[in-house]
A and B are shown apart, each in its own frame.
Chain A
Amino acid sequence: MSVTTERLRPAVRVGPTSWRLHPRAVLCSVVAAVLVAVLLVVDLAYGDLKIPFVDVVRALLGDSSGVNAFIVRDVRLPEAAVALLAGLALGLSGALIQTIARNPLASPDVIGVNAGAAAGAVGYIVLFAAADTGAPSGISADLAIPAAAFAGALIATALLYAAGWRRGLDGRRLVLVGIGIAAALTACTSWLLVAARLQTAASAQVWLSGSLNGVTSSNALWLLGVFVIVAPVALWQGSSLNIVELGDDTAHALGVRPGRAQAVALLCAVLLAAVAVSAVGPIGFVAFVCPQIARRLAGTSRPPLLTSALAGAGLVLVADVITRLWLTGLAVGVVTSLVGAPYFIYLLIRTQKDPS
Chain B
Amino acid sequence: MTQTTVEAHEVKQSANGRLVADQVTVGYGEEPVVHDVSLRIPDGKVTTIIGPNGCGKSTLLRTLSRLLTPSSGTVVLDGAPIGSRSAKQLARTLALLPQSPIAPEGLLVRDLVGRGRHPHQRWFQQWSHGDEEIVTDAMRWTGILDLADRPVDALSGGQRQRVWIAMTLAQHTDLVLLDEPTTYLDLAYQVDVLDLVCRLNRERGATVAMVLHDLNLAVRFSDHLVVMRAGRLVAQGDPGQILTAELLMEVFGLDADIVADPRTGIPMVVPRGQKTGG
Contacts and interface: CB of A to CB of B under 8 A. Distances in A.
B252 interface: no
Interface stretch (B2-10, B110-118, B262-270): B110-118
Nearest to A249: B98
B31 interface: no
Contacts of B67: 249, 252-253
Given A8-B136, A249-B96, A255 B127 contact: no
Given A247-B98, A356-B105, A254 B126 contact: no
Contacts of B126: 18-20, 239
Contacts of A301: 104-108, 111
Interface string A19-39: 110000000000000000000
Nearest to A254: B118
Interface string A239-276: 10011011101101111110000000000000000000
B84 interface: no
A9 B119 contact: no
B253 interface: no
Given A8-B114, A20-B127, A254-B115, A245 B102 contact: yes
B184 interface: no
A246 B119 contact: no
A250 B127 contact: no
A172 interface: no
B107 A239 contact: no
Which secondary structure dominates where chain B touches chain A? Answer: mixed
Nearest to A236: B123
Contacts of A257: 87
A7 interface: yes
Interface residues of A, number: 32
A11 B87 contact: no
A299 interface: yes
B38 interface: no
Contact of B88 (A246, A247, A255): A255
Contacts of A8: 110, 114, 132, 135-136, 148
Nearest to B98: A249
Contacts of B220: none
Contacts of B115: 242-243, 246, 254
Contacts of B62: 249
B101 A246 contact: yes
Nearest to B101: A250
Nearest to A296: B106
A140 interface: no
Nearest to B92: A255
B240 to A, nearest CB: 32
A13 B110 contact: no
A11 B107 CA distance: 18
B87 A239 contact: no
A18 B132 CA distance: 11
A214 interface: no
Given A11-B127, A20-B114, A247-B98, A254 B104 contact: no
Nearest to B164: A250
B200 to A, nearest CB: 16
B156 interface: no
A48 interface: no
B95 interface: yes
Interface in A121-166: none
B95 A253 contact: yes
Given A9-B114, A249-B98, A253-B96, A299 B91 contact: no
A300 interface: yes
B102 A246 contact: yes
B65 interface: yes
Nearest to B110: A8
Contacts of B65: 252-253
A256 B88 CA distance: 7
B14 interface: no
A271 to B, nearest CB: 21
21 contacts: A6-B136, A7-B136, A8-B114, A8-B132, A13-B127, A18-B124, A19-B127, A20-B114, A102-B104, A246-B112, A247-B102, A249-B67, A249-B101, A250-B98, A253-B95, A253-B96, A253-B97, A254-B91, A255-B91, A300-B106, A356-B105
Given A18-B129, A245-B102, 18 more contacts: A7-B136, A7-B148, A8-B136, A9-B114, A9-B132, A11-B132, A13-B128, A16-B124, A20-B126, A243-B118, A247-B98, A253-B67, A253-B98, A255-B86, A256-B87, A256-B88, A256-B118, A257-B87
Interface of B: 62, 65-67, 86-92, 95-108, 110-112, 114-116, 118-119, 121, 123-129, 131-132, 135-136, 148, 153, 171
Interface of A: 6-9, 11, 13, 16-20, 102, 236, 239, 242-243, 245-247, 249-250, 252-257, 299-302, 356
What 7 pairs between A and B have smallest CB-CB spacing?
A255-B91, A249-B98, A301-B107, A255-B88, A20-B127, A247-B102, A253-B96
